[in-house]
Amino acid sequence: MKNDGNDNAKCGVSSECSPGENQRSVEDALAEKQLRERMSKVRNKVLVLSGKGGVGKSTVAVNLAVALAKAGERVGLLDIDIHGPSVPKMLNIEGMMPAIEGNTITPVSLGDGLKVMSIGLLLQSEDQAVIWRGPLKYSMIRQFLKDVDWGELDYLVVDSPPGTGDEPLSICQLLPGITGAVVVTTPQAVSVTDVKKCITFCRQLKVPILGVVENMSGLKCPHCGKDIELFGSGGGKRLAEEAKVPFLGPIPIDARVVDACDRGIVFVHEYAESDAASALSFIAGKILQKGGEEQSAGKIPVPKEREDSRMKVAIPLVDGKLCMHFGHSQQFALVEVENNEIKNTEMMTPPPHEPGVLPQWLHEKGADLIITGGMGQRAQNLFAQSGVKVVVGASADTPENVVRAYIDGTLQTGQNICDH
């Protein structure tokens, strides 16, 4: 009998590495290269996660992606829920098969800069069950990243199934340069407890956390207008405070969300004036600002898209200085900025303060940004819906000094003094 060890030594292959394994290593290296080349064209990769099912995570992911696209961003939405893909139904694209040519898959394009990919688009029927173990799911997620022709994207939003199992682990291991995770919970303790595990999961895998969203946060009675806390309140915000991560905001319950999802209608489009749509748009605005991390650091840098362009900054005033609550202002200064230089300051008397009036008025005056000491959540939502950025927590100073500090990236901000 020949000595296997000597024979292996003669051919240069060890007993622990067969020619087939060498071939697989080469294939894996090529796949990794292709994946990185694809993903190098994606500026931001945002994961939508939750430690518990039934919290509306897919609803948040879909509407977040649409809101980002509505803001002019090029967005991809990747559904990696292998066993229960719901994105195709929510967007009414069931039966729209992606084009496949060779090893290249073309995602379904919905216009407005939104592209979508889901295993649900590849199944023969909506009743077909995918019965896979972990390795097959890993391979499919890798294929979605390396073979799908996403093109140039500003955001890739990934809707992951709940928990900390195969799919979330696979995407965190495969996706290079993750911008961060949006963690979705509902207010009640049983959900918050499970979502804490999701935050621990992100930290162990070194995935930045953009913030926590509290979905199903209260219901306004359609008859009397009274707020009803079906699942309690404040659980998401308390979780964010305990975990020392940003709180992106609450989303109230709206029965029309269920109808929109079932009929494949995008909620933020169809019911744009609703409180829930405003909250989703506001959260999208925070994602555009990377979850408010710059504000939590105490300094607000000038957005890159504004550095060499024009903008108008609104400053609420009392006695000539920034007012600590925009709704109590005596005047507004509208400061025009061009190429990082203050060109003009116009003083304006605001209309009587009623809910929703000032955001609409400032939007009509052409404001791109408002800087104030404090502002309530509803007003922030209305500004976000109009495309006006909000900076809160600024200190009293003249409008020119406030805007100059903002331009220089030295504006110091503290706590929002009004958070109702």
Q: In the predicted model, is pLDDT for residue 200 greater than 90?
A: yes
Q: What is the pLDDT of residue 290?
A: 64
pLDDT computed for residue 21 by the predictor: 59
Q: What is the pLDDT of residues 75-100, one digit of tens each?
A: 999 999 988 898 999 999 988 889 99
What integer pLDDT is reported at residue 267 of this predicted model? 85
The structural domains of the chain, ordered by start, are 36-291 (3.40.50.300), 304-408 (3.30.420.130)
Q: What is the pLDDT of residue 204?
A: 93
- What is the percent of the chain with per-residue pLDDT over 70, rounded to a whole number? 83
Q: Tens digit of pLDDT for each residue in 103-137?
A: 899 999 987 779 999 998 988 767 777 777 778 98
Over residues 180-205, the mean pLDDT reads 88
Instruction: Kindly report the pTM of this predicted structure.
Output: 0.64
pLDDT above 90 covers a percentage of the chain that reads 34
pLDDT at 217 over 60: yes
Q: What is the pLDDT of residue 22?
A: 62
pLDDT of residue 391: 86
Q: Which residues contact 313 (CB under 8 A, 6 or more apart)?
A: 334, 335, 337, 367, 368, 369, 370, 371, 399, 403, 406
Q: What is the DSSP string of 355-409?
A: TTHHHHHHHHTT-SEEE-S---HHHHHHHHHTT-EEE--PPS--HHHHHHHHHHT
What does the pLDDT read at residue 202? Answer: 93
Q: What pLDDT digit, counting tens, does each position of 368-402 carry?
A: 899 988 887 777 777 876 678 888 888 888 999 99
Instruction: Provide the pLDDT for residue 144.
Output: 93
Q: How confident is the model at residue 61 (pLDDT cuts 50, 70, 90)?
A: very high
What phi, psi does 294 have (nearest 5°)? -65, -40
Across the chain, what does the average pLDDT equal?
81
Of 222, 99, 90, the residue nearest 157 (C-alpha):
90
> What is the number of alpha carbons within 13 Å of residue 47 lying toward its C-beta?
34
220-279 pLDDT, tens digit each? 666 676 677 766 667 888 888 888 899 888 888 887 888 888 888 888 877 877 888 888
Identify the residue with better confidence: 13 or 403.
403
> Is residue 335 scored above 90 in pLDDT?
yes
Q: What is the pLDDT of residue 87?
A: 92
CA angle in degrees (0–180, nearest 5) for 283-289-290: 85
